[in-house]
Structure 1
Amino acid sequence: MAAEFLTFGAEGILTRAASLAEQELSLLWGFKGELTSLRDSLSKLEAMLRDAQHLQVRGERVEMWVKDLEGIAHEADDVLDEYEYELLRRKVEIQNQIKKKVLNFFSRHNPIAFRRKMAHKIKNINASLANLKNEAASIGLVDRSTLVNATSHDIGGLDRETVSNFDQDEKYIVGRKEVASDIVTTLINSGKNQENCLSVMAIVGMGGLGKTTLAKSVYNNPEIGRHFDQKIWVCVSTPFEVKKILSEILECLKPEKAGIKGKATICENLQEDLKGKTYLLVLDDVWNDDPNKWDDLMSCLLNATSTKASKILVTTRSVSVSSIVQTLPTCVLRKLSEDECWRILKYKAFPDASVVLSEDQERIGREIAKKCAGVPLVAKVFVEVLFACVLLVLICSSLINL
């Protein structure tokens, strides 16, 4: 498999780049920083590559991404070969004549010219790797190493808050009704003959596909309300702190117990409040791929769960996370069709269904839908940005006419 081959290749290039970046050599003057960036970029992309190896669904874009990374890795390998060759050549070359040194200034072995050439090549490779890393986020590949030690401040974009209630623009759900129905059926019907079993189902997909909206649709489904005694919604995000998650579960059940601090006391209260009850727990936006932390959370919840048929629904961008938590089949969220994206665009722009669009308006709208690449969030944001631009034009026009 291309991804497996690339991992070993990238590891070799990473080792060489790291070794060279640590050396204090005159030849490194002018591009040591670029060489260090190359090492760091390869290290981060290598982590993303490990995610690519675990992907259960391989789209064309993922395969193209892997091939592009392979090409850039080979290019980096060639540059490092060239650098090491020049190091070896200079070690064996004796330059003890002034005339030869002067002539060498104009030759292809001139050290200043060589440093400039190498800096330019490595800089271009780093730019290609940066573009590839940015593209990786759009196909669901995540550099998990940045999540392990990061604080909420460091990764503010990942530290988010979600609630179980629908926002106004989330009520119009396109292309997910059948999926939501299947999830509801699975959560209700699975594990009926198992005692003290806490089943877990994961919804997996890249950012913007509507995992949270789908989870809300399931959570607020009337059948779920009738089947489970309690419904609990917790936005996990990062960092994954077991005590904090348990505390939020308890607060959701009994708001007056929000001040309880000790983990053991929280677990005792959960056991008391959940005794004899079935519940659905939604853990939204989970990034943790440490099995030990997940096992710790599950151990606490299993001790507090006294009846069968309670369920956990997890949303995550990472296939590796779902492979750790799932006991039920994973729901891998697909992208929307162009027609479904067009329906979102049309609804956002014209909530009144009675509005009739001209052929030109619909043609332009469908062209925009193609650019959404099947991601519902892109369609929603595009309309908001378009309206903001129109408003800005109107404001500017009114100011000009003053």
Structure 2
Amino acid sequence: MAELLLSAFLQVLFDRLASPELLKFARREGLRKQLDKWGETMERIREVLDDAEEKQQTKRTVKAWLDDLRDLAYDVEDILDEVATEAALRRTLMAGESKASTSMVRNLVPACCTTLTPSTVKIKFRLGSKIKKINARFNDLVTQKDQLNLKENASPRPNKRRERPPSTSVVTEGHIYGREEVRGAVLQLLVSEKHSDASNKVPKVIPIVGMGGIGKTTLAQLVYNDKKVESFFDMKAWACVSEDFDVAAVTKTILQTLTSENCDGKDLNWLQVKLKEKLLGKRFLVILDDVWNENYNDWTLLRAPFEVGAPKSSIVITTRNQKVSSLMRTKEVEPFQLEELSNEACLSVFTQHALDARDFSAHRDLKDIGEEIVSRCKGLPLAVKTIGGVLRSKHEDRNEWEKVLKNKIWDIPVEESGIPTSLMVSYDNLPSHLKMCFAYCSILPKDYEFEENEVVLLWMAEGLIQPRQDEEEMEDLGSKYFHNLLSRSFF
């Protein structure tokens, strides 16, 4: 986790090094080449972070190298803060001078001469000394990198994070609890002949939105397998989209579900023509599960073959991102925002997976611990199911249950839970500046209720908000950051 944050922090430093205001000041002060060199060196170092994270588990020297890199990154940030402060001060002074009346003689003096004040010389000397020390430390890290045999992009982290099994349409009805009301509402929207579509658009796109592990896929499975849906639609298909939004791959999956066509080696044009022929005049339901892509052009390209379907044809998407929902949904259709599962439903999910029972009737000695464990899961079905599955192998031993109660859910090995992988993928998909802002929120105490303005001011104080345009206020940009994280279900 620390290396993920370090990588994001380095990206923030890259962005700051590319700031027009910083570059303008550095060029005027003769620091541009030094800052460019920092950027090049950090890029070389960043390329081996994946390999370093793997090796630090078994090599203390690699762990020490990462610690040194982190310390250096913070010191680089301090210098950039100093440069940015000096640049802002210069702009203020120059703006004041331009407004004041000055003599014709002063106006004829070159700007380069007017900046050579004792204060300026002192600042250049101070920055120059610090920059030399930073350069030496960078050189040492690069030398150590080669000595440690750290490989560039040896095992790219994104691919490893995405090693999650794709979802399928199969669901076990007997193991589903809660969501009856929202399930009925989705079905009503899908199969009711009386429901009027103000837009009459085909297909109707219905989003199911919520944080990772909240039960979006399960709800979609229940709807997909409902008997009313079976009889209402002429055909239906399921496609797990996930992070890599490949229009051709998704189209191929849907086409192969609906037909016996051999799609191997076929291009997108062939796939879309065939899918359009198959859907022409038919009432269909398509589930697009786990959608992340925010590119509107990709969505319109994927959607094109579906527009020939019969009225009442529908596409249901599940996503963690409200922006994706807004981009894809039919405007007249409100998305279904999934909230936490009720405590009663969570208890049923827990006992099903931990005890293979619907309640604690036959295991009353475990009820108090079980209820406490469930309350810690805060209504998240994935967490409840995972903890239940872990306890299933504990042979109903009260002492073992108490041990699990004392642990944190993140202490459970990934092999047993899959939770870190499932939830970290949300973090992986954040742009670097949002990764830093979210990581900073870890200083907030557990269960602490915070306000938007409060968090934005903290981000500003830490220099995590860097406007790229003079006319953009830091508070406004911080508010955008906050609402972006909110829309992605991080808060």
TM-score by length of 2: 0.50
Per-residue deviation at 1:358?
5.5
Q: Does 1:316 align with 2:319?
A: yes
Amino acid at match of 1:92: K
SS in 2 for 1:236: strand
Per-residue deviation at 1:347?
1.7
Q: Which residue of 1 is the match for residue 284 of structure 2?
A: 279
Contact 1:158 / 1:238 at 8 angstroms: preserved in 2? no
Q: Which residue of 2 is the match for residue 174 of structure 1?
A: 177
In structure 1, which of residues 86, 92, 96 is the aligned counterpart of residue 122 of structure 2?
92
Per-residue deviation at 1:12?
11
2: distance between equivalents of 1:321 and 1:243?
19
In structure 2, which of residues 181, 203, 218 is the aligned counterpart of residue 213 of structure 1?
218
Note the 1:1-400 alignment, pairs <5 A.
16=16, 81=81, 91-92=121-122, 154=159, 156-157=161-162, 160-166=165-171, 168=172, 171-189=174-192, 190-191=195-196, 197-259=202-264, 261-302=266-307, 304-305=308-309, 307-327=310-330, 328-353=333-358, 356-357=361-362, 360-388=365-393
Deviates more, 1:371-380 or 1:234-243: 234-243
Cα separation, partners in 2 of 1:285 and 1:23, compared to 1, 3 Å: same
Contact 1:260 / 1:266 at 8 angstroms: preserved in 2? no
Per-residue deviation at 1:226?
1.3
Per-residue deviation at 1:343?
2.1
Amino acid at match of 1:324: L
Cα separation, partners in 2 of 1:192 and 1:84, compared to 1, 3 Å: closer
Cα separation, partners in 2 of 1:191 and 1:24, compared to 1, 3 Å: same
Q: What is the identity percentage for the equivalent residue pairs of Structure 1 and Structure 2?
A: 31
CA deviations 1:60-85 (Å, max 9, x no partner) are xxxxxxxxxxxxxxxx9988545767
Structure 2: runs of 5 or more not aligned: 1-10, 24-30, 47-75, 88-117, 139-155, 401-491
Deviates more, 1:280-289 or 1:377-386: 377-386
Amino acid at match of 1:276: G
Task: Give the paired residue count.
Answer: 295
Cα separation, partners in 2 of 1:90 and 1:154, compared to 1, 3 Å: farther
1: distance between equivalents of 2:269 and 2:81?
58
Amino acid at match of 1:301: F
Contact 1:236 / 1:283 at 8 angstroms: preserved in 2? yes
Per-residue deviation at 1:249?
1.3
Per-residue deviation at 1:153?
6.2
Cα separation, partners in 2 of 1:360 and 1:301, compared to 1, 3 Å: same
CA deviations 1:340-375 (Å, max 9, x no partner) are 322211121222348625555211111101211211
Cα separation, partners in 2 of 1:374 and 1:158, compared to 1, 3 Å: farther
SS in 2 for 1:288: coil
Contact 1:250 / 1:257 at 8 angstroms: preserved in 2? no
CA deviations 1:292-350 (Å, max 9, x no partner) are 01011122221x42x21100000111111000001121001101133332221112122
Contact 1:339 / 1:366 at 8 angstroms: preserved in 2? no
SS in 2 for 1:187: helix
SS in 1 for 2:159: coil
Cα separation, partners in 2 of 1:182 and 1:201, compared to 1, 3 Å: same
Per-residue deviation at 1:245?
1.6
Contact 1:159 / 1:238 at 8 angstroms: preserved in 2? no
Amino acid at match of 1:247: K
Per-residue deviation at 1:172?
1.7
Q: Which residue of 2 is the match for residue 55 of structure 1?
A: none
Amino acid at match of 1:322: S
SS in 1 for 2:281: coil
Amino acid at match of 2:169: S
SS in 2 for 1:154: helix
Q: Which residue of 1 is the match for residue 141 of structure 2?
A: none
1: distance between equivalents of 2:359 and 2:243?
43
2: distance between equivalents of 1:365 and 1:94?
64
Contact 2:354 / 2:390 at 8 angstroms: preserved in 1? no
Amino acid at match of 2:391: L
Cα separation, partners in 2 of 1:358 and 1:79, compared to 1, 3 Å: farther
2: distance between equivalents of 1:94 and 1:228?
73
TM-score by length of 1: 0.60
Contact 1:203 / 1:314 at 8 angstroms: preserved in 2? yes
Cα separation, partners in 2 of 1:316 and 1:111, compared to 1, 3 Å: closer
